[in-house]
Structure 1
Amino acid sequence: MSWSNYGSFLVFAMVLIVISGPDFAVVTRNTLAAGRRRGWWSALGVTGSNVVQGVAAAAGVGR
């Protein structure tokens, strides 16, 4: 891989990281609709699901 391709990949990866996803939308909606406590629980749920998916992927059973 050339340095030009690597640079393009890094820029693309950073853009994907910065763009908000559906998880962020759920946490924001729950926080605005039901308050900070519900927002924290939503964020905890999103974090938990990401951990489970990451462990599954690391174990070779993820999609």
Structure 2
Amino acid sequence: GQEVYMEKTGDEDDTYFTLYHVLTNEEFEEVDIELDWDEDDEEGLKKMFPKLWEMYGEEPIEW
């Protein structure tokens, strides 16, 4: 549903989730995730995520 909403309206993720929680009367609890690795440590990332590194390490996905 989120992808279709974004394609049809051009709105971002935050708008979809805000609207979803308003319409469902659910409380929105944003979780603060802390990443415990250094993005610039390529050797460490290779060891920590070998399969992901094999697929995307040399050619990372651009956001």
Structure showing greater radius of gyration is 2
Q: Tell which has more relative contact order, 1 or 2 (C-alpha 8 A, sep 6+).
A: 1
Assess same fold via TM > 0.5: no
- Taking structure 1 as the reference length, what is the TM-score of the superposition? 0.27
- Taking structure 2 as the reference length, what is the TM-score of the superposition? 0.27
